[in-house]
């Protein structure tokens, strides 16, 4: 069996030396990377000059200064979301290329729609993909200081709607304000019509409800009985809280019995339907209740 020549041994020794030196060089490069926070880039990530791209705007698969293997991405043209590391541009692009959003008029109730009858027929209970909202004046009357606050007033409306077997009774809220929370902040601004229990239209939408005149007065109660009442509101026709009013001790304080609260007239079409004058809080008056 032939033996290796001295020259062959020299070549093998030289190869071993070269391999060891290469390993040392790689190890030294890793040390520099760790020391200076430089991200290693493969040759494919360099420009024509052989200089790596700016690491402040790009990352790639490989070992970072922290020793964590990352994934390649580019921040050019979009900001990075620090919470999840995703590009805002990418998120927007994904939303644009994902499932289509709700389409009003396709006959399917989706998204924020409350109805979608697939047609543009007026006065059929579904307008701009928003269903009609029932509004009524309460058949029951309450002293202003004993309504129970905004939440108590809402609950009274819901109880009346439930007893009258109105649909979605649990959504009703009172047209009532305090200095801190006005009716237009508490109630949904519907694109649908506001109608009485008997179907008579009061306003074509929220804008129609909060700008005078109304189409018909709100003088029908939850039982579809006509009532010419005065109602507690503390609210201007615009839905804003009445300025300078006492609000009957926030509608929930015995000490407010001698104070005053804003009222509206149910028989009126102009803004006085919501605010006519202040009344003593010991008076027993109705509430306006609005389906949400």
Give residue 120's pLDDT: 76
Domain ranges (residues) in the chain: 10-73, 126-290
Nearest to residue 232, comparing CAs of 121, 119, 147, 166?
147
Quick count: other Cβ atoms within 10 Å of Cβ 45?
15
Q: Which fold has domain 126-290?
A: Mannose-Binding Protein A; Chain A (3.10.100)
22 Cβ neighbours under 8 A, 6+ residues apart: none
pLDDT attached to residue 112: 67
Query: What is d(CA 249, CA 154) in angstroms, rounded to the nearest whole number?
Result: 17
Query: Model pTM greater than 0.75?
Result: no
pLDDT value for 255: 82
Decide if 260 contacts 246 (C-beta within 8 A). Answer: yes
Which residues, including other chains, have CB under 8 Å from residue 16's CB and lie 6 or more apart? Answer: none
pLDDT recorded at residue 149: 97
Q: Give the per-residue pLDDT at 99.
A: 62
The pLDDT of residue 101 is 67
Q: What pLDDT does 102 receive?
A: 73
What is the reported pLDDT for 79? Answer: 35
Give pLDDT, residue 92: 39
- pLDDT 10s digits, 102-148: 787 777 877 767 776 667 776 766 777 688 999 999 999 999 999 99
CB 242 within 8 A of CB 236: yes
Per-residue pLDDT at 11: 34
Q: Residues of the chain whose pLDDT is less than 70?
A: 1-101, 112, 116-118, 122, 124-125, 129
Q: Please spell the DSSP secondary structure of 132-143, one letter per residue.
A: -EEEEE-SS-EE
């Amino acid at each position: 069996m032939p033996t290796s020549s001295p020259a062959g041994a020299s070549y093998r020794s030289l190869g071993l030396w070269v391999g060891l030196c290469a390993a040392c060089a790689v190890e030294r490069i890793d040390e520099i990377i760790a020391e200076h926070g430089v991200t290693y880039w493969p040759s494919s990530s360099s420009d024509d000059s052989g200089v790596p791209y700016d690491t402040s705007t790009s990352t790639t698969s490989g070992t970072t200064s922290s020793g964590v293997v990352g994934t390649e991405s580019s921040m050019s043209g979009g900001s990075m979301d620090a919470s999840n590391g995703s590009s805002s541009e990418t998120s927007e692009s994904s939303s644009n290329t994902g499932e289509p959003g709700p389409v009003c008029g396709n006959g399917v109730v989706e998204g924020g729609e409350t109805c979608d009858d697939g047609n543009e027929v007026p006065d059929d209970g579904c307008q701009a993909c928003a269903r009609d909202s029932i509004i009524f004046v309460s058949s029951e009357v309450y002293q202003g200081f004993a309504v129970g606050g905004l939440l108590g007033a809402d609950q009274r409306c819901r109880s009346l709607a439930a007893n009258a077997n109105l649909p979605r009774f649990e959504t009703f809220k009172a047209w009532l304000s305090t200095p801190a929370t006005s009716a237009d902040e508490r109630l949904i601004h519907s694109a649908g019509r506001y109608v009485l229990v008997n179907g008579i239209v009061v306003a074509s939408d929220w804008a129609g409800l909060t700008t005078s005149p109304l189409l018909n007065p709100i003088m029908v109660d939850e039982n579809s009985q006509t009532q010419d009442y005065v109602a507690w509101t503390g609210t201007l026709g615009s839905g804003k809280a009445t300025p300078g009013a006492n609000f009957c001790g926030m509608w929930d304080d015995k000490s407010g019995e001698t104070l005053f609260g804003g009222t509206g007239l149910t028989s009126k079409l102009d803004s006085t339907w919501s605010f006519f004058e202040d009344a003593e809080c010991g008076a027993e008056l109705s509430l306006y209740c609005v389906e949400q």
